[in-house]
Amino acid sequence: MEIIEKIQNQVTELLKDQFELELLSNQVVINKTRRDVAGDLTLVMFPFVKQLKKSPQEIGDIFSQRLSTTISEIKAIEIAGGFLNISLSDEYWNKVLKDLYHNPSFGTFPKNGKKILVEFSSPNTNKPLHLGHIRNILLGWSTSKISEAAGYKVIKTQIINDRGIAICKSMLAWQLFGEGKTPDSSNIKGDHFVGSFYVAFETHFKNEYNDWQNSAEAKNIFESESKENESYEAFLKRFKNEYFNRFSALGNQAKTMLQAWENDDPDIKALWKQMNSWVYDGFNTTYEALGVNFDALYYESDTYKLGKDIIENGLQDEVFYKKEDGSVWIDLESKKLDHKLVLRSDGTSVYMTQDIGTAQLRYKDHGVDSMIYVVADEQDYHFKVLFEILKELKEPYTDGLHHLSYGMVDLPTGKMKSREGTVVDADDLIKEVIDEARTGASDRGVLESISIEEREDIYRKIGLGALKFFILKVNPKKRMIFDPKDSVDMQGQTGPYIQNAVVRIESILRKLSDWDESLYFSYSSPLQIEKDLVKSLNEYPSEVLKAAEDKDPSIIASFAYELAKDFHKFYHDVRILKAESHSAKAYRVVLCTSIKNTLTKAMDLLGIEMPERM
């Protein structure tokens, strides 16, 4: 806000003129005044007490003398201990409201010419999306919207992990037990259909392993390969993966299938395409339900061989080194990281290799200034290493690399575990929140006059609003607890609470008649609550910038909640349509319209739609 700079500049000039004290203007600390104290801005004087060897009262007198004569927007200044509380004039705040009311792109910054690529979702194709993906998707989507509002051109992307042993397990199980069924024939959503065969594989494999445990072979292996004092149970738990690789018939078939896939076996490729297309149908339905989409897709089956040539070049430039067995490594000890493998001894890629190649490919494809990877914090180390390697390789885009690292989602009962069946399915969850909105609305019975279709659309907006807000209001970095009961709550600090503020304004605007917009600026004595609302609105653009800078949608969620809260209070205490004068009415309608517009924009940045009624 310009006014803050004005004050800072006056103070630094004053200090220079009168005390020969040279300060940078941003060393003059100015905060918002506390709600319970009169004033708009608060200048902190403590730092000057020592430097000027004067009391806060004396400094306050000198400062306020200067500020009140040089800055016309200042109405009053009060000294309170070490704080200087500055009140700005009503005209100033009315001007602020006027400007933002007439600015259709309020809170949306002009294009800055920079491009950001945001990667999010990035599922495996062997099972449906779950709650963890939802947090990821909502964060990715919201960060994209916020970046756009802040002036960036955004390319939303994901890497689809469509190959590997996992999808082969689903494919094999379908071959063995599928009896030719399809999602259509069994009336199951495609991703769930394929996921059920993944589960079927795991079940059959587990049975096979159990049977094997009673065999002589198993006993022999235990004799020769168990650790000292290791129980048979502990051994079996540890040995499961190795059993898969060495002894399992099913494991063997799955691995054979993976090899066939890598050798481009036409039958296997056809099956793979078929099953993945079922999965994509399912994913698309879920994405659509969540209201998200992507601009560019990358498939692991296309990218998994990338990066090798970069490693080769890096080897020549001595960024990497080769061990005797032929494996290739990087030494990042100087960066307080470790030695990291980038190419196996057989010359094949690891995850890191692919990521190096994919980063370069994306830069070539889109020429972006920045790339944001929305990936859970369990991969913090991986991304530190990846970014360091890209820096060592002197890739041109490394200053713009960001890992939007978010905490895992826990349930009140603890971690989600697929083995224990505690994973919250994305589609179930979406259905549940919409059902809950429907139940709540029919209890209230206010929507009976409108069509079923419209009503359903409202339930959808409310239910998803509740879910999305519940997840996005939490700082991404923090691990969060998802209580399904709380997530469908629609009272208090929730999405529907904010939607309700907008709905109340819509209702007023529908009933509005007999008003003269031009009168609003002649309303000369705004109430405290009205000024507070204008002040909050005024902060919206800087909140957008901060959210973009921090890549943190929870900043927008907090802002929207605070604004809605002040509005509800205002609505309760102050008559709008029956205001005491025409100018007051006009002012309040303008204020309400600005609040509605701003809340709608803010919520749009969270991917939340606003109903007109609820």
Partner RNA sequence: GGUCUCGUAGCUCAGCUGGAUAGAGCAGCUCACUUCUAAUGAGCAGGCCCCAGGUUCGAAUCCUGGCGGGAUCACCA
Please, what is the minimum distance in Å from the beta carbon of residue 311 to RNA?
Answer: 13
Between strands 74-80 and 30-32, the pairing is: unpaired
CB of 547 to RNA, least distance (A): 10
Q: Does 377 bind RNA (CB under 7 A)?
A: yes
At 25 the three-state DSSP class reads helix
425 contributes a contact to RNA by CB under 7 A: no
62 lies in the binding site for RNA (CB under 7 A): no
Residue 1 interacts with RNA (CB under 7 A): yes or no: no
**Which residue in 386, 350, 307, 333 sits closest to 341, CA to CA?**
350
Binding mask 306-335 for RNA (x = CB under 7 A): -----------------x-x-x--------
Nearer of residues 139 and 154 to RNA, judged by Cβ: 139
Question: Smallest gap, in angstroms, from Cβ of residue 532 to RNA?
Answer: 12
Number of residues that bind RNA (CB under 7 A): 90
Interaction between residue 450 and RNA (CB under 7 A): no
Among 440, 526, 553, 607, binds RNA (CB under 7 A): 440
Whether the Cβ atoms of residue 572 and residue 495 lie closer than 8 Å to each other: no
Q: What H or E segment, with its residue span, contains residue 510?
A: helix 495-511
Nearest to 523 by CA among 94, 88, 100, 76: 94
Q: Which of 10, 12, 39, 298 binds RNA (CB under 7 A)?
A: 39
By CB under 7 A, residue 202 contacts RNA: no
* Rg from Cα positions in the chain: 30
**Residue of 234, 296, 297, 446 interacting with RNA (CB under 7 A):** 446
- Retrieve residue 97's tokens: 């409201």
Stretch touching RNA by CB under 7 A, among 11-19, 69-77, 129-137, 570-578: 570-578
On whether the CB atoms of residues 596 and 576 are closer than 8 A, the answer is no
The continuous run of DSSP H or E covering 331 comes out as strand 328-331
Residues 482-501 that bind RNA (CB under 7 A): 483, 486, 489-494, 496-497, 500
Which residues between 458 and 487 bind RNA (CB under 7 A)? Answer: 458, 462, 473-475, 477-481, 483, 486
When the beta carbons of 1 and 37 are compared against RNA, the nearer one is 37
96 binds RNA (CB under 7 A): no
All residues at 6 or more sequence positions from 302 whose CB lies less than 8 Å from its CB, including other chains = none
Between 214 and 263, CB nearer to RNA: 263
Considering beta carbons, is residue 82 or 291 the nearer one to RNA? 82
Contacts of 171 (CB under 8 A, 6+ apart): 197, 257, 268, 271, 272, 275
Q: Which helix (H) or strand (E) holds 375?
A: strand 370-376
**What is the CA angle 285-289-294, rounded to 5?**
75
Q: Is 42 in the site for RNA (CB under 7 A)?
A: yes
Minimum CB distance to RNA, residue 115 (Å): 26
Per CB under 7 A, does 554 bind RNA? Answer: yes
Question: Which residue number, 369 or 552, has a Cβ lying nearer to RNA?
Answer: 552
| Whole-Å CA distances, 171 to 161, 178, 303, 449 | 15, 9, 21, 50
- Could you give the CA distance from residue 614 to residue 604 in angstroms, rounded to a whole number? 18
Short-list 101, 92, 99, 107, CA closest to 40: 92
Residue 506 interacting with RNA (CB under 7 A):
yes
How far, in Å, CA of 182 to CA of 311, rounded? 42
At position 576, the amino acid (one-letter code) is: I
136 binds RNA (CB under 7 A): no
Shortest approach of RNA to residue 263 CB, angstroms? 17
SS3 content of the chain, % helix, strand, coil (to 5): 60, 10, 30
Location of structure tokens 């190419």: 343
- Binding residue for RNA (CB under 7 A) from 519, 568, 582, 604? 568
Q: Which is nearer to RNA, 28 or 426 (CB)?
A: 28
Q: Which is nearer to RNA, 155 or 557 (CB)?
A: 557
Q: Is 379 in the site for RNA (CB under 7 A)?
A: yes
- To the nearest whole angstrom, how small is the minimum distance from the Cβ of residue 23 to RNA? 13
User: What x-and-dash track marks residues 336-365 binding RNA by CB under 7 A?
Assistant: x-x--x--xxx---xx--------------
- Tell me the closest approach of the beta carbon of residue 555 to RNA, in angstroms: 7
Residue 403 interacting with RNA (CB under 7 A): no
Hey, which residues between 583 and 612 contact RNA (CB under 7 A)? 612
Q: Is 572 in the site for RNA (CB under 7 A)?
A: yes
What's the min distance (Å) between Cβ of 497 and RNA? 4
Contact present, 612 and 600 (Cβ < 8 Å): no
**Nearest alpha-carbon partner for 148 in 116, 171, 119:** 116
What's the one-letter identity of residue 294? F
